[in-house]
Structure 1
Amino acid sequence: MSSAARALTDVAEAEAEAITPEATPQDFPLPSAIAARYTVGLLTIVYMLNFVDRQIVNILAEPIKRDLGLADWQLGAMTGLGFAMFYTTLGIPMARLAERWHRGRIIAGCLVVWSGFTVVCGMSTTFVQILLARIGVGVGEAGCTPSAQSLIADSVPLNKRASALGTFSMGVPVGSLAGLVLGGIVAQSYGWRAAFMVAGAPGVILALIAFATLRDPRPSSTPASRANLLPLSAVLAQLRQQPAFWWLAAGSAITSFVGYGQQAFYVSFFLRNYTPELAAAAQSVGFAGPLAFVGVALGIVLGVSGGIGTLVGGRLGDRFAAQGPGGYGMVAAISMLIAGPLLAAVFFLGSGLTILALLAVPLFFKNMWFGPVFAGIQGMIPQRSRSTATAIFLFVLNAGGLGLGALLTGLISDMFATSYGEAEGVRYALVATSLVSFLSAACFWRAAVAMRRAA
C-alpha cells in the first residue's frame, strides 16, 4: 500500500495492523479476550509476588546488616549477585522446558520453590546461610518470566502486545511496593525473620490457583511438535542476525544495573541520612518506627509512580510502533534520557521527605521501558522459540543488572564512605549510578535504528 493511500485509512484501523513482522505466523488460535485478560491478570499477580520475594530483602537490609554484622558489599552480594548467579544461568534450561511442556504448570512449580526459599531466608543465622537461601529463591524464579512472557505473547493480538506486557510488568513496581510495605511493617514490629516468612507463605496458595486455572493456548507437546523445536544453537544463530535484539538487551541490562543497584540501597540512604526526621514523621502518623514509615512511603512511591510508568510506556509503545517497529526502542530511549538527570539530582533536593516525594518523577520515566522492549523482543523470534529468546535476553539483562548492580553500588558506597562517611557514601553511590542511564538511552536508540532498518 502506498503512503498516500495509507494516509487515507482510519487511524484505528492503522493501529490494528501488525506493528512489526512476526518471525513466524502463530500456528494456533488465540484464546478469547476474557481468557487472555485472565491470563495476563493472574500472571501479573504471580510476577508481583515474584518481586515481593525478590525485593523484600531491600527493606530488611539494615536490620540484617546489624544482626549478622555484614559490610555493604555483602549486602550487595546477598541482594544481587547471589540471587542472580542461578537466576540467570537456569533461565535458559527452564525456557527450553517451557517450549516443550505446559507453561502454566511450570510457573506454578517455580512459584512453590521460590516461596519456600523465601521462608528459609528468615531462618538464616549467618551470611553464608542467607546467601544460599537467596540463591534458592533465584533458582525458583528462573522459570517464571520466560514462561510468562511467551504465554502472554501467545495469548494476545500483536497490536496489543506492548500494552499486555506493560501490564504484566506492573508486577515489578507493585511487587516492590508490597515488599517494602510488608517488610517494613512486619520487621518493625516482629523482626526481619518474620517478614521473610510472611512474604513467602502466600506463594503456595497462588501456585495451586495457577496450576488449576492457567491455560496454555499452545497445543499439547507431541513428538512431532518437539521435533520442530529449534535447538539452542539455531536460536542463537537467528539472534545473531538481529542487532536490535542485542542493543535492547544491552540497554535493558544497563537500566537494570541502575534499578537493582539503587533499590538495594534506597532504604539505607534514608535511614543513614534522615532517621530523626523520619522517626518524627513516623510518630506523627502512628507508625512504630522509621523503618515501617520508610517501607510504606518508599513502597507507595515506587509502586504508584512505577506502575503508572509501565502502563503508559506500554501504551506509548503500541502507538509509536504503529508507525514502525523502531517506535519500541524510541519510547525506551526517550524515557531513560529524561530519567537519568532527574534521578541524579533528586538525592540532593532538601529533606528526606522531600526526596521521598520527588523520587516519584524520575521513577515514572525509568519504568516506561518494560512494555516496549519486551514487545519488541517477542516479535523478533519464531513463536515456538519465544521462551528461549526471552531467557537469553534476561540472561544478559540480569547478569549485568541484577548480578552487578547491587554489588557494585555497595562497593562504590564503601569507597566513598572512606572519605565522606557511610551516610554520604551511599548518597554519592546513588548519584553515580543514576548517570549510567545515559548509556542505556544510547543503546535503546541504536536498537530503534536497527529495527527500522530491518523492517
Structure 2
Amino acid sequence: MAIAYQSHPEIADTLAMKRRGLTLALLTFTYFFSYMDRQILAILLERIKADLVLTDTQLGLLSGLVFAIFYATLGIPVARLADRTNRRNIIAASLTVWSAMTALCGLAQNFTQLMLFRIGVGIGEAGSSPPSHSIIADLYPPEKRASAMAVYSLGVVLGAGFGTLIGGVVAHSYGWRIAMMTVGLPGIVLAILVRLFMVEPRRGLSDAARAAEATPMPSVGQGFASMWASAPARHLVVGVTLTSMIGYALTGWGPSYMQRSLGVSMLDISRYIALPGALFGAVSALAGGKIADMLAKRHGLHVQAWVVLAMKGLSLPFALAFYLIDAPAIAIGSYFVSLIFANSYLGPSFALIQHLAPLQIRAMWAAITLLVINLIGLGLGPTMVGWLSDLLKPGFGEDSLRYALVIIALMTPWALFHYWRAGVLLKRAEDAVR
C-alpha cells in the first residue's frame, strides 16, 4: 500500500474510500473482541473468587488497575508508532497478543498467575484503539465522523454483552477456564483477516481543507502540550474519563451485584440479560452518534457535547433505580432503560476529540485520551468499587457492593458539567470564525 501511495496516490485513495465500510467493520469487530476478552471477567468473578479464594479488592484489581496500568501507558508509545508507520499491521499484531493472553488466563492457578496474564491482555489491547481512531478520522469527514465513531463504539457494548453471554453459558457447563479459552482463541483468526483485508488510508484523506496542517512529527511532549492547550479538549477528556469510570464500574461489577443483591443466577444473567443489554446499549451508541451528527449540521459541532449532557442526564435516575430497588424485575427493567441513554457519549466524545486534534498526531491524541480514561476510568472504577465493597461489608453485608456502586454512580453530575463546559467553549470558537 505504501508503494501505491507513492506512485499512484489517486488509486490508493479511491481504494481506501471504496473499502472504508469494510475497514470500519473490521475495526468494529476488533474492538468487539477487545471488550469481549476484557469484560468476560465480570461474569466469571464469583466463580474465580470461589476457586482461587480471592477478596473483592483483588477482583477489583484484576478488573481494573492491573489491566489498566499497562493498557493505558503502553498506548502512548504505540500511538507514536502508529502516527509514523502502518496502523493496520499494529492492530493485527496487537489482536493476536491479547487473544492469546486471554486464552492463557484459563490456565491460571492463583492470583499472581491470573494477574500476569491479565497484564498480557492489557499490553496487547494497548495497540488497538489509538490507531483505530486515527484510521476512522482519516476515512470519514467531520460531518459523518460521530456516526462512524458510534458504529465503532458498538464494539464496547456488544463485546461486553457477548462476553457475558458466552462466558456465563460456557462457564456454567464447562467452568470459567474453558470460558476464557473460548473467547480468546477466535481473535487470532480475526487478526489474520485484519492483516489481509483492512485498508491503511492516507493521513488526512477526509480532511482536504486541513492538508496544510501537515508538519514534521511533533514529540510526545508536544502532543501532550497541544492537547492541554485546547480548553474544549481538556473538558472533553475529563468528561469522558468520569463517564467511563462510572461505566466500567457497572460493567465490571454489574453481574456480581445481580447475583449477590438481586439473587439472579449467573446462567440467567447470561441468557436473559446480557444480550438485551447489549442491544439496548448498541441502540444508544448508534442513536447518540446519529443525533449528534444531525444536530451538528444544523447548529454546529458544539451541540454534540450537549447531546451527551442530555442523554447521560436522562440515564442517571434509571441507573440509581437499578442499584436501589430490591425487586429484581423492576431493577433490571430500570437497568435496560438506563442503557438506552448510557452509551450515547461514545461516538460524539471521540469524534470531537479527533476533530480538535492536529492531523499529524491524531493517534497520539487518541492515546492520550485513552491513557487518562483507562488509568482513571478503567483503573480506578472497578478497583474503587471492590475497595468500597470490602470497606462497607461490616455494616451492609452482601449489600456492600450495591452501595459501593451507588457512590460511583453519583459522580455523574461532575462529568455532565464538563460536557456542558466543552460545548460552551466550542460554540465560542465557532462564533469567532463566523
Match of 2:247, as an amino acid? G
Aligned residue among 280, 287, 307 for 1:331: 307
Aligned residue among 145, 149, 167 for 2:133: 149
TM-score (norm 2): 0.91
Instruction: State whether residues 105 and 117 of structure 2, in contact with CA within 8 Å, keep that contact through their aligned partners in structure 1.
Output: yes
Alpha-carbon distance in 2 for matches of 1:257, 1:297: 25
Match of 1:85, as an amino acid? I
User: Aligned pairs, how many?
Assistant: 410
Equivalent residue for 1:193?
A: 177
Aligned residue among 239, 254, 258 for 1:266: 254
Instruction: State whether residues 166 and 370 of structure 1, in contact with CA within 8 Å, keep that contact through their aligned partners in structure 2.
Output: yes
Instruction: State whether residues 16 and 200 of structure 2, in contact with CA within 8 Å, keep that contact through their aligned partners in structure 1.
Output: no
Q: What's the % identity of the aligned pairs? A: 37
Equivalent residue for 2:319?
A: 343
**How far off its partner does 1:356 sit?**
2.1
Deviations 1:229-268 (A, max 9, x none): 1222222222222111111111111111111112221111
2:58 is aligned with 1:58: no
Equivalent residue for 2:385?
A: 409
Deviations 1:180-225 (A, max 9, x none): 0000000000000000000101011000000011111127xxxxxx
Match of 2:348, as an amino acid? P
RMSD: 1.8
Equivalent residue for 2:208?
A: none
Equivalent residue for 2:416?
A: 441
Deviations 1:268-327 (A, max 9, x none): 11111233xx4xxxxxxxxxxx31211233312331111000000001111222212211
Instruction: State whether residues 146 and 387 of structure 1, in contact with CA within 8 Å, keep that contact through their aligned partners in structure 2.
Output: yes
2:201 is aligned with 1:217: yes
Match of 2:303, as an amino acid? G
**How far off its partner does 1:42 sit?**
1.2
2:24 is aligned with 1:49: no
Match of 2:51, as an amino acid? D
Equivalent residue for 1:418?
A: 394
Equivalent residue for 2:116?
A: 132
SS at 2:344 equivalent: coil
Alpha-carbon distance in 1 for matches of 2:191, 2:114: 24
Instruction: State whether residues 161 and 278 of structure 2, in contact with CA within 8 Å, keep that contact through their aligned partners in structure 1.
Output: yes
Deviations 1:21-42 (A, max 9, x none): xxxxxxx957565411111111
**How far off its partner does 1:136 sit?**
0.6
> After superposition, where does 1:211-290 map in structure 2 within 5 Å?
211-218=195-202, 228-275=216-263, 278=264, 290=265
Moved over 6 A (4+): none
SS at 2:173 equivalent: helix
Alpha-carbon distance in 2 for matches of 1:193, 1:212: 31
Instruction: State whether residues 318 and 334 of structure 2, in contact with CA within 8 Å, keep that contact through their aligned partners in structure 1.
Output: no
Deviations 1:428-452 (A, max 9, x none): 1122211111111111111111111
Alpha-carbon distance in 2 for matches of 1:30, 1:164: 19
Alpha-carbon distance in 2 for matches of 1:452, 1:403: 32
Alpha-carbon distance in 2 for matches of 1:227, 1:344: 48
Alpha-carbon distance in 2 for matches of 1:445, 1:67: 46
Of the structure 1 ranges 129-138 and 320-329, higher mean CA displacement relative to structure 2 is found in 320-329
Aligned residue among 376, 380, 395 for 1:400: 376
TM-score (norm 1): 0.87
SS at 2:356 equivalent: coil
Instruction: State whether residues 301 and 357 of structure 1, in contact with CA within 8 Å, keep that contact through their aligned partners in structure 2.
Output: no
Alpha-carbon distance in 2 for matches of 1:227, 1:445: 32
> After superposition, where does 1:1-150 map in structure 2 within 5 Å?
29=13, 33-150=17-134
2:363 is aligned with 1:387: yes
Structure 1 pair 249/227, CA: closer, same or farther in 2 (3 Å)? closer
2:417 is aligned with 1:450: no
SS at 1:216 equivalent: coil
Match of 2:81, as an amino acid? L
Alpha-carbon distance in 1 for matches of 2:86, 2:367: 17
